[in-house]
Structure 1
Amino acid sequence: MIFHTVVSLRPRIGRFAPIAILAASTLSAAVAWGSDAPSSAETTSQSYAEFHTDDETNNIEIFKRASASVVNITNSRLVRSPYSLNPQSVPQGSGTGFVWGDEGYIVTNFHVVQQANRVTVTLQDGSTFDARAVGLDPDKDLAVLKIDADDVELVPVELGDSGLLEVGRKVIAIGNPFGLDTTMTVGIVSALGREIDSVSRRKIRDVIQTDAAINPGNSGGPLLNSLGQLVGVNTAIYSPSGASSGIGFAIPVNTVKRVVPELIAYGRVQTPILGITPVPQPDYYRRLWGIQGVIVMGTVPNTEPALKGMRGLSRSQRGRIQLGDVIVEIDGREIANESDYADVMEEHRPGDIVEVITLRDNQRLRYEIELQAPQNN
């Protein structure tokens, strides 16, 4: 036997009928007298416009304050047309940057402007300027551009402190993913202290990992904290497809604050030199000799390592290559390879005196070396 449920559609008349009739009468009167009472749609719209959660309010304020500092960067390369001898400008890609100070400097990633013959910068108001490279640092994937925008009021980004970040803190990315200008995405700090490879294959350390969506075109854009302050420069994503996968990386602003002023002043980072020449293909020779450290191939003439007796490679009477000094420690820091060596050098400035420990013939030797400025300034 099959049972059917029957639902009656007839209006029920009961003790609530007078109330319903009264409400209907009141509504009819209001309509008849042309009442100004807002409709439910208007009330909902007004309520939504006036209501924000604290987080929404924070997001809106950050975007309004920081988006004016974000720029779109387009790079192009001059190629010779097969039908003409005249070079033509061919677009290569686009990225993001941000205003640094009030003198027309723009900070972005090195890979955004790499191999470009022409770079244009578009501000939020739509004005476009040709830009020239002031300084480049492929090891940190940073570049500084300069635009002549004397007639435009530039809005520099406010600098924060990446050392105050914690996992779980909110971060905001503003950029131009896939050419969609001034797009904001929100996420958190997923991890700190990551390492990624730069264009030059050097390790970029202390990198910020975030799940804020970062896509092609976001490169070089700012990563902001809840105060709208710069805490990182978006530089890479981990994605097999090339689109955001929830794993993005940003160069910490404390690194940026150290590098950018030197790029502006000198065109390159003023990493000091010790006065030695490392061997080429060092990994091969470390495996060959079963050692760790930086193998000194030679010393630069008239530098302290040369004057204080540090030795490079030499040949025995039988023609075999003999090891000289192998740097294993600088200022108490273990040096296992050239990356460790470069990291220590970046933490110092020309004129600093460092203690260098080397191994030679199974003996530990100690040198005090004054670091020199780069020779090709």
Structure 2
Amino acid sequence: MNKPKFQRGASAMALLAFVLFVALLYVLYNQSGVSKWLSSPATDATPRVVQPRGDLSATENSVVELFEVSKGSVAYIFTESVQGQLFFRRIAEGTGSGFVWDEQGHIVTNAHVVQGANRIRVQLDDSEPLPARLVGLAPSYDLAVVRLVSAPKNLRPIPVGTSHDLRVGQSVYAIGNPFGLSKTLTTGIVSALERTLPVSNGREIPDVIQTDAAINPGNSGGPLLDSAGRLIGVNTAILSQSGSSAGVGFAIPVDLVNQIVPQLIERGSMPRPGIGIAVADEAMARRLGIRGVAVMGVEPGSPADEAGLLPFDLQAGVVGDIIIAVDRKPVANVLQLSKALEAVGVGGTVQLLVMRGDNTREVAVRIIDLERR
């Protein structure tokens, strides 16, 4: 049966339109260069010519050398502690940093890295972790010493420098194991000196070094070095709301470390001279307009209690005592008080000049070891 004429016409028009569309594509294909691009061989994929770098600068070479020399003295510390009781016990794992103190296998780290650990292992260089035991702990200074159970013969004790002559602005280098990334080097400067750093038992570590060298979780206990590769501090804390480095890190000064570590090795503990008081921190003292050491708490039965020292009670409006001198030498803050007590030592007696309101008096107070109370 033949199609109507209008259907045959429509088919012809559709065929013509298709032919014209194909022709248009062909013209565009040739004019735009697409055909040339599709038919051309693959472009040359040979690497770019490498430009010679030249020698490293003297500064870069010195930092590279510092790291190569020092990294063998840095330790990676693993801890395990049992938490919970009976059927609810679990093993908590922790990590931190440390450094080789001597050829006998003593490793220095932070107290908070190893305190409470049931098992301690220390990794040096690329060796397998070696078992270690706790030798001494000084929580008031956040320092600890562990000792390798079997010390290798090729131990490399870290060179010890000084911290009393540090200057703000000088270069410093931190080596540690942040986030488990072993042997990480970060650089910076001494940002400030003579900071105080609170520790868990309410005491403050004096003369702490502030640095902007990146210090992150896992760096705790690692060394802070000067440009000569000498130990000038032990990295211990960061000031950060996120828990990661924010450019404000703190290190325990090596002059203090060099006093404490030998006693930890010999005795297992470090005496903490004190009289049994809690004091206002510097921020609170400034708010109260106090120059001296404001007594905010007195431990019952302590030498301070026996001497009749009275603490402030801000809620009740009780005006307490302010210590303004020790052995007739003025003290303006808790750091100066601590140094004065440490200079006399445990077992000695000091004369405190105490102000309560408008009245002053002098009292004799014994110094005791707060670690043994």
- In the superposition, the TM-score normalised over structure 1's length comes to 0.69
Tell me, yes or no, if structure 1 residue 154 matches structure 2 residue 155: yes
Partner-residue secondary structure (3-state), 1:162: coil
> Residues 362 and 169 of structure 1: is their aligned pair in 2 closer, same or farther, counting only changes over 3 Å?
closer
Q: Which residue of 1 aligns with 2:245?
A: 244
- For residues 173 and 189 of structure 2, the distance between their equivalents in structure 1, rounded to whole angstroms, comes to 8
C-alpha displacement at 1:297, in angstroms? 5.7
Bigger Cα Rg: 2
**Letter paired with 2:331:** E
Q: Structure 1 residues 304 and 210 mapped into 2: Cα distance closer, same or farther (>3 Å)?
A: closer
| Aligned counterpart, 2:60 | 56
Q: CA RMSD in A?
A: 3.9
1:87 deviates by: 5.9
Q: How do 1:201-240 residues align onto structure 2 when only pairs under 5 Å count? A: 201-240=202-241
Identity %: 39
Q: Secondary structure at the match of 1:67?
A: helix
CA contact (8 A) 2:295 2:320 kept: no
One of 330, 335, 341 as aligned partner of 1:333: 330
Deviations 1:337-359 (A, max 9, x none): x7764443234324655333345
Helix, strand or coil at the partner of 1:265: helix
Q: Residue deviations 1:73-132, cap 9 Å, x none?
A: 111122469xx95966332x2110011122211111112123322221111132322222
| Alpha-carbon shift at residue 232 of structure 1 (Å) | 0.8
Q: Report the counterpart of residue 139 of structure 1 in structure 2.
A: 140
Aligned residue in 2 for 1:108:
109
**Does the C-alpha gap of structure 1 residues 61 and 117 become closer, same or farther in structure 2, counting only changes over 3 Å?**
same
CA offset at residue 135 of structure 1?
1.6
The aligned length equals 314
The 2-side partners of 1:375 and 1:168 are apart by 36
Q: Distance in 1 between matches of 2:245 and 2:278?
A: 40
Aligned match of 1:90: 92
C-alpha displacement of 1:334: 2.8
Where 2:140 maps in the other structure, the secondary structure is: coil
Asked if structure 2 preserves the Cα contact closer than 8 Å seen for 1:135 and 1:263, the reply is yes
Report the CA distance between 1:206 and its aligned residue. 1.7
2:350 aligns with 354
**Does the 8 A contact of 2:99 with 2:222 survive in 1?**
yes
Separation (CA, whole Å) in 1 of partners of 2:245 and 2:229? 22
Q: Offset of 1:220 from its aligned partner?
A: 0.7
Secondary structure in 1 matching 2:227: coil
Match in the other structure for 1:24: none
Which residue does 1:193 correspond to in 2?
A: 194
Q: 2:82 aligns with which of 78, 84, 87?
A: 78
Q: Deviations over 1:213-265 (max 9, x none)?
A: 11111111000001000011111112222222222111111111122122222
CA distance in 2, matches of 1:326, 1:213: 39
Deviation at 1:156, TM superposition (A): 0.8
Residue of structure 2 in register with 1:173 after alignment: 174
Cα distance in 2 for partners of 1:296, 1:190 equals: 33
Contact 2:133 2:149 in 1 (8 A): no
Task: Provide the C-alpha distance between the structure 2 equivalents of 1:108 and 1:63, rounded to a whole number of angstroms.
Answer: 19
- Report the Cα distance in structure 2 between the residues aligned to 1:203 and 1:185, rounded to whole angstroms: 26
Quickly say closer, same or farther: Cα 1:366–1:164, change in 2 above 3 A: same
Question: What CA distance in whole angstroms lies between the structure 2 residues aligned with 1:130 and 1:79?
Answer: 21
Alignment partner of 1:258 is 2:259: yes
Amino acid aligned to 1:134: V
Long gaps (5+) in structure 2? 1-47, 311-317
The code of the aligned residue for 2:79 comes to: N
Once the two structures are overlaid, the 10-residue window that deviates more, 102-111 or 259-268, is 259-268
Please list the CA deviations of residues 156-207 of structure 1 after superposition, one character each: whole Å capped at 9, or x if unmatched: 1111111121111110100001101001111111121222221223222222
Deviation at 1:72, TM superposition (A): 0.3
Gaps of 5+ in 1: 1-38, 314-321
Distance 1:364 1:299, change over 3 A: farther
